[in-house]
């Protein structure tokens, strides 16, 4: 029987002799490589936190004590130690989530996988326990050095430092990376802490001498403590945290389970907020991940576990199309600059950064700062490209509205992973961006339907200087180019019958064009005339689209966005304002949080397939004819 098979919960782990922990750590790493290579998932981060997670569950009594993981993709080891050993369906429909999930276990607390939130959660939980008279229950926040660059984390630290007796432990998991190497002043400070461990070694030397020669050693040790402040300033500059009022312990070797456990026990016994600085190695124990300079093992698809190479080579992605065109534009226009929030490689900015390093800014996990900084760059005569995931635009809405739009700043937001993203679940679906954008005065939004449209949209966007623009596209391989049948003003007609007026005007927003064309074909086969159009620029709604709708029997809008306040809603309102009474049917993502599953499964579930759209349209037409 393996050691891991005997661990059904944290109580089993706490009862395990310390001598068996190295074997358990090795088994966990082997399990992760074998399992995640078959399903895909976040491999590198979890290989790096094995010993740390073991120590957390041996020192603290989850769920009585609460452990909050910031950016919960590092929770796979936690899941194993809390009894979830079946990873065969990891991130798949009905399987284990890739993030903490309250439905799965009472040991899971925060399901939101957006970074820099754990400290605020933990501060609230810890204070709630104190108010309820449960001061003996501890709260632990595990936050990466990358997530610590987020402004919200520092807002929380400001409050944590003020509660001197709060039973709260902050564990900084410092692996020098989030998606990529952590950058900025905080990263430099942590690097200094990482490399100046002389103070602790000096005290350990003093303790050794004290044990050997009590009299001389005792005097010497008093002298050591007499110069403690000076030594700290020289060789252990943890003052940034301690000056805030937060006790600092570390740095600790995150792969020495006993050392981490000892530090956590000291933190628990302190009686107030403590920050434990733990050094880990992302990808530990798996050579392809350890040597992964491009951080491709942060999140992987299905791979060969022996080589680390993907089993399926995907075609060109939407991100590739954006990335290549941005480099070409950069060569032509010196005013074009790029900004991202700790996602240089995932959003395709690395080639631009390589070519134009002085015109590329990675601000850390700080979307709000990135957006307002972009407004400042625009004021200074630049045209900034802010490249982030669609789901993260939510975090910068105020800055988009008040700093960019109000000031008519020419800033382009390029939103990767828009729409249904699949296995990463509710917090990663990019299903709110068009609804958010629709509320912003003066904003223009394009949702390219295929690979050929991405460069065209980007070039048009960088020419917009009097307000924000948005380009959004999904994850994965691009759709093949779809030819334009004809153009009506700024609207592309993708297909139509010759009959006028048409029974149905299909408005296809973005990458769902193949499904919409399939639905239109089925409706035409059912005896109805159809026209399929791509508005190209979906926001604001164009007069050309309004006129096309005026001559149609009904309008069907299909979008990979929340149906509430999305493009379809804007079209309906534009028609009403123009006195057009054509009925409008909306197809989009329902107003609910969607669980993890494949993109195809989720499209089937919510009815964004050619068959489902056609069936609904034919039913509407049948009702009209009765």
* Of 282, 359, 444, 475, catalytic: 282
Please give the Cα distance from 77 to 29 (Å, whole number).
9
Strand-pair category, 530-534 with 504-509: parallel
Please give the Cα distance from 213 to 373 (Å, whole number).
60
Strand-pair category, 486-488 with 491-496: antiparallel
Strand-pair category, 491-496 with 530-534: antiparallel
* Of 91, 137, 359, 395, catalytic: 395
Annotated ligand binding at 560? The verdict is no
Annotated ligand binding at 367? The verdict is yes
Three-class secondary structure of residue 560 per DSSP: strand
Element (H, E) at 620: helix 610-625
The number of beta carbons lying within 10 Å of the beta carbon of residue 554 is 19
Annotated ligand binding at 46? The verdict is no
Q: 325-329: long-range contacts at Cβ-Cβ below 8 A with a sequence spacing of 24 or more?
A: 325/454, 325/455, 325/458, 325/459, 326/351, 326/352, 326/385, 326/458, 327/351, 327/352, 327/355, 328/455, 329/458, 329/459, 329/462
* Residue 30: partners with Cβ closer than 8 Å, 6 or more residues away: none
The number of beta carbons lying within 10 Å of the beta carbon of residue 147 is 25
Residue 367 catalytic? yes
Peptide bond into 565 cis (omega under 30): no
φ, ψ for residue 227, nearest 5 deg: -105, 20
Element (H, E) at 251: strand 247-253
Three-class secondary structure of residue 471 per DSSP: strand
Length of the chain: 626
- Distances from the Cα of 439 to the Cα of 402, 418, 450, 507, 566, angstroms: 12, 18, 26, 20, 10
Apex 60 CA angle, 54 and 63, nearest 5: 100
Residue 385: beta bridge partners? Answer: 338, 412
Apex 90 CA angle, 85 and 96, nearest 5: 65
Please give the Cα distance from 283 to 290 (Å, whole number).
5
Element (H, E) at 615: helix 610-625
Annotated ligand binding at 145? The verdict is yes
CB 198 within 8 A of CB 232: no
Annotated ligand binding at 286? The verdict is yes
CB 480 within 8 A of CB 451: yes
Please give the Cα distance from 544 to 189 (Å, whole number).
56
Annotated ligand binding at 366? The verdict is no
Residue 279: beta bridge partners? Answer: 174, 253
Annotated ligand binding at 99? The verdict is no
Annotated ligand binding at 619? The verdict is no
DSSP conformation class of 181:
B
CB 314 within 8 A of CB 320: no
Three-class secondary structure of residue 598 per DSSP: coil
* Of 176, 257, 325, 367, catalytic: 367
Q: Which of 301, 349, 375 is nearest to 598 (CA)?
A: 301
Known binding site for thiamine diphosphate: residues?
73, 113-115, 146-147, 175, 286, 367
Known binding site: residues?
73, 113-115, 145-147, 175, 286, 367
Known binding site for Mg(2+): residues?
145, 175
Give catalytic residue positions: 282, 367, 395
């Amino acid at each position: 029987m393996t050691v891991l098979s005997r661990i059904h919960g944290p109580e089993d782990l706490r009862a395990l002799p310390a001598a068996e922990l190295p074997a358990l750590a090795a088994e966990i790493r082997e399990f992760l490589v074998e399992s995640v290579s078959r399903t895909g998932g976040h491999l590198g981060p979890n290989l790096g936190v094995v010993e740390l997670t073991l120590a957390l569950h041996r020192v603290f009594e989850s769920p009585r004590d609460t452990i909050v993981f910031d950016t919960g993709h590092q929770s796979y080891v936690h899941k194993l130690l809390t009894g979830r050993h079946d990873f065969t369906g990891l991130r798949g429909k009905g399987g284990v989530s890739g993030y903490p999930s309250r439905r799965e276990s009472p040991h899971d607390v925060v399901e939101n996988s957006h970074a820099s939130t754990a400290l605020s959660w933990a501060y609230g939980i810890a204070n709630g326990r104190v108010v309820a008279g449960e001061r003996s229950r501890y709260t632990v926040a595990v936050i990466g050095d990358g997530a610590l660059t987020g402004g919200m984390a520092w807002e929380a630290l400001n409050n944590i430092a003020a509660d001197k007796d709060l039973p709260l432990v902050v564990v900084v998991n410092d692996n020098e990376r989030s998606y990529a190497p952590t950058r900025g002043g905080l990263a430099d400070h942590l690097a200094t802490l990482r490399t100046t461990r002389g103070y602790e070694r000096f005290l350990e030397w003093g303790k050794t001498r004290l044990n050997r020669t009590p009299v001389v050693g005792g005097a010497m040790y008093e002298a050591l403590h007499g110069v403690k402040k000076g030594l700290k300033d020289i060789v252990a500059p943890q003052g940034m945290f301690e000056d805030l009022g937060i006790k600092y312990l570390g740095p600790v070797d995150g792969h020495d389970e006993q050392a981490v456990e000892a530090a956590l026990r000291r933190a628990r016994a302190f009686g107030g907020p403590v920050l434990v600085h733990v050094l880990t190695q992302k990808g530990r124990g798996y050579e392809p991940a350890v040597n992964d300079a491009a951080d491709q093992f942060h999140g992987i698809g299905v791979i060969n576990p022996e080589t680390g190479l993907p089993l399926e080579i995907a075609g060109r992605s939407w991100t590739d199309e954006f990335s290549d065109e941005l480099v070409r534009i950069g060569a032509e226009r010196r005013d074009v600059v790029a900004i991202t929030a700790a996602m240089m490689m995932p959003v395709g900015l690395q080639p631009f950064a390589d070519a134009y390093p002085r015109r590329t800014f990675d601000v850390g996990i700080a979307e709000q700062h990135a957006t307002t900084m972009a407004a400042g760059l625009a004021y200074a005569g630049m045209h900034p490209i802010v490249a982030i995931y669609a789901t993260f635009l939510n975090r910068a809405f105020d800055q988009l509205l008040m700093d960019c739009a109000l000031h008519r700043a020419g800033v382009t937001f390029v939103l990767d992973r828009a729409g249904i993203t699949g296995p990463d679940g509710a917090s990663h679906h990019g299903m709110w961006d068009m609804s958010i954008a629709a509320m912003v005065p003066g904003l223009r939004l394009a949702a390219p339907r295929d690979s050929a449209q991405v460069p065209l949209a980007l070039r048009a966007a960088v020419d917009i200087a009097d307000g924000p623009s948005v380009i959004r596209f999904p994850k994965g391989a691009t759709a093949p180019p779809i030819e334009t049948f004809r153009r009506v003003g700024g609207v592309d007609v993708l297909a139509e019958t010759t009959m006028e007026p048409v029974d149905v005007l299909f408005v296809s927003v973005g990458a769902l064009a193949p499904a919409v064309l399939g639905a239109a074909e089925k409706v035409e086969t059912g005896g109805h005339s159809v026209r399929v159009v791509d508005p190209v620029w979906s926001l604001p709604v164009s007069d050309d689209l309004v006129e096309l709708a005026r001559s149609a029997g009904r309008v069907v809008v299909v979008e990979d966005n929340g149906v509430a306040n999305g493009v379809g809603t804007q079209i309906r309102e534009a028609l009403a304002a123009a006195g057009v009474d054509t009925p409008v049917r909306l197809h989009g993502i329902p107003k609910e949080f969607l669980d993890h599953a494949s993109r195809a499964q989720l499209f089937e579930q919510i009815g964004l397939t050619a068959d489902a759209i056609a069936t609904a349209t034919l039913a509407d037409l049948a009702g009209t004819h009765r």
